[in-house]
Amino acid sequence: MEFIFMLTKDDATVAHAREAYEEVRSLDLSYVGFKDIGLPVEELTTLAKQMHADGKTVMLEVVSERPEDELRSARAALEIGADWLLGGTRATQVAPLLAGSGIVYCPFPGTVVGHPSKLRGSIEEIVASARDLAAIPGVGGLDLLAYRHDGDVEALVEAVAGAVDVPLITAGSIQTPEQIRAMERLGVWGFTIGGAVFDAQLPTDDPSVRGQVAYVLDLLAA
């Protein structure tokens, strides 16, 4: 299972993203990401170049609500040099924009509302949405807001994972080792953590960004 460290809190890229990345860049961390809200495209482009130079895979997650903002962010992914585009809800419009770019596109299944984003709908409705999205040409995976759902999270993840054959990422509000282990047991491809690192919520004596990220990496390696 892959760990994607997001330089984000409250669904926005943190102002000190560059400094936070400096803390973790030497760790054995393959995937690092940020949101389309919080910093200008120019700063994200510079940050992505540094990540690529360090051998990292760059993930951009779209949480903008307005259609025009989501499409603008999808185009910005090309400028930034993102390797993966996560999130968003307008797959039939975004997928053609990314055609031929090599970007792996993973939209949100289900009904996503508000900012920070929340996932609504029954498990059956979210599964149906996941199936529909996975069938769209250009969709390479799904970004499931599992812990932003107000129902049975593990039942939801199990149902979605069993319904599609594309990589499944669980995103949003993971903050305990028990939640990480649950995602591992359910066979998801990867998961994101951002706010829990910046709030030092993970159970390690080191509250620094580096210490929190290192804890997750050690947990996965155990």
- Confirm whether 75 is domain-assigned: yes
CATH number at residue 164: 3.20.20.70
Domain with 79 in it: 9-221
Q: Is residue 2 part of a domain?
A: no
pLDDT at 173: 84
Average pLDDT, the chain: 97
Supply the pTM of this predicted model. 0.96
pLDDT tens for 153-171 read 999 999 999 999 999 999 9
115: confidence class by pLDDT, cuts 50, 70, 90: confident
Tell me, yes or no, whether 124 lies in a domain: yes
pLDDT digits (tens, 9 = 90+) for 117-143: 999 999 999 999 999 999 999 999 999
Q: So what's the pLDDT on residue 66?
A: 94
User: How many structural domains comprise the chain?
Assistant: 1
Q: What is the pLDDT of residues 95-106, one digit of tens each?
A: 999 999 999 999
Residue 127 lies in a domain: yes
- Whether 180 is covered by a domain: the verdict is yes
1 lies in a domain? Answer: no
Is 53 a member of any domain? yes
Question: If DSSP states are collapsed to H, E and C, what string results for the chain?
Answer: CEEEEECEECCEECCCHHHHHHHHCCCCCCEEEEECCCCCHHHHHHHHHHHHHCCCEEEEEECCCCHHHHHHHHHHHHHHCCCEEEECCCHHHHHHHHCCCCCEEECCCCEEECCCCEEECCHHHHHHHHHHHHCCCCECCEEECHHHECCCHHHHHHHHHHHCCCCEEECCCCCCHHHHHHHHHCCCCEEEECHHHHCCCCCCCCCCHHHHHHHHHHHHHC
Within a domain: 3: no
